[in-house]
Structure 1
């Protein structure tokens, strides 16, 4: 009996010792997804936390409507329309609304609809006809609106995309209403990377979009319409089982060609993530796979301040100054450098300066920007960011002012420099004699 107890104790000690010796990084679990293509990014910095074939271009289905939402928000911001602007439904969107094959709220002609009502039906219930009506209101025709969509995509730095209509339907489903400049064989295309880039800009440029996309149900034209995003907390009935803390967007999609797609976003403890899954097998699976990505992001990553405001990089604490009362000025980071750090990877980051000049000329102002500092990552996470500008950079600034030296001192300095050069030349000449 005593021998058995000793053996059990020895095994327990070995297990504990083994866990203590286990590398820290091995404690951080990776994530796998059934989605054909997927990506997870930090919504503040745009840093990629996970990706799987994220550059693969696939039909996005109704995730296309995120671009329509962006352009509606932009038109409101620029004063071209307002939430209270009204419009009627033309024959084209009416034919789409009347077709039972397409998701729709059932629009009526010869009736005024506000932009707000049409937008809510599009963003919450994924209505196709309301997206077309908004496109016609803003651009005059869906064909002109498609041009705006592609131009805006380029402006936002999206890659691997093609917009051919405002809804995400295949053009072959539009009959005689194929947008001008496109063909019946065309379909919208986006990579997960492109969808995440679009979502990043929508969330950060127009946060009001989340107030609408995060609405579980609402009223439209006397009827209750329901959100297709089942991960929003507070969804009715059995759909509440899919709820996930902090989810308030963003856009689902489905066509036979695209399969089930979903761009999601959630915020917990001040951290917001954006995920994209494409080509999943069912409505349920797109949310199950998104849950995996969110769990991975929120459990394995946290925002950390790696370098505080006022940090001085070793061997680069100052810059020389000419024509000043001081010969140099101290430099430091003007802001803190923070990013999402995976558990166990705190030591994988370093800082690097990119200075504009090797020497400054007086006068120099206190707080004058002289370059930028950026985070450098040397680890195993995906190397990339979904926005062109690297947000993991902060300005490098001077810590004090340096006044320009007066004319007398500058003159003396010039004379000293002249005679110094003359003396040096004379010495070199004399050396040449011997």
Structure 2
């Protein structure tokens, strides 16, 4: 069976819009820290979740079924399935956001249940593809399935965090930690890692350095994620959670080594590839600081460590990957209407040259500056770190979003880049 080209879905547009909304909320949240705007309690929670549940999850919902079908030589899900998921996910997210921000339990519960059912449906669709495919599924497909399964756990934990607080051995903080591990490292992390194993070599026009390391790392990831999402809430951080951390970190070290060797094995260089590679090192931030919290080593307030770790994960690691996905797929995938680009996995040789090396340096230096500010946020001088750091991040964040829309518009208005074959 010939592989179906990937297509543009409403999730891709929504992902871009949510990342833009997350940018606006992040700016507002930063201004709140300096008492320059009125304080709104829902902004702190929203600006993170507009990037994660909003931007990243939109892109994954749009891409995971297609990438799984592409790898397994299965037909793409129908456009009706895309629209059903799109409407349900965003309706659920709006209910969730309204319920969490304004204390409406019924809305929070309704949104959470809707999202849980849609994620379960996504898992069933992907499992059916695996069962019906004659192609041997590999580490990437396995990571996709595990990531969606773990996301169900994370959503379930959210139910016990807000609307119906659960009494668990690890307490509310332990349940929240398990929720973050499931959604961030489990869902976002494993899905992105599985995709980058395929995508990163293509950015360089090369092959992955080692398929064996890829398979080994996948098993370590799977073995590590389940202790990470159970240890905190059962109150066994120094045993179960720590074991999961070691296993997950081992898998990540193998994964990172594989990407670095892939990068150095070719003379091809691009700003996008460098941005993706450097972003991987920020995953080490949360993993590196976790032992200080687990074993009670206090060099700064544990809450400040958590703030910094979340910053390194979401802004240092997740956001550059989401923006890269947007730059690669958003401008190039065929539209839902008839005119479209005839593409495969990613456009062959059509990698946007919109990220320069100096931008990668500025972005990552700003990540360090803001991260240090989080660790010492009780000091008056931290404002001198937050100000320039956030300014640089916001400017580059906005720049990449604008470039994604510009590239999309250019391709849709250039008659030489479209075809009317009507395959969709």
The TM-score normalised by the length of structure 2 is 0.22
- TM-score, structure 1 length as denominator? 0.22
Greater strand percent: which structure?
A: 1
Q: Where is the helix percentage greater, Structure 1 or Structure 2?
A: 2
Please identify the structure whose Cα radius of gyration is greater: 1
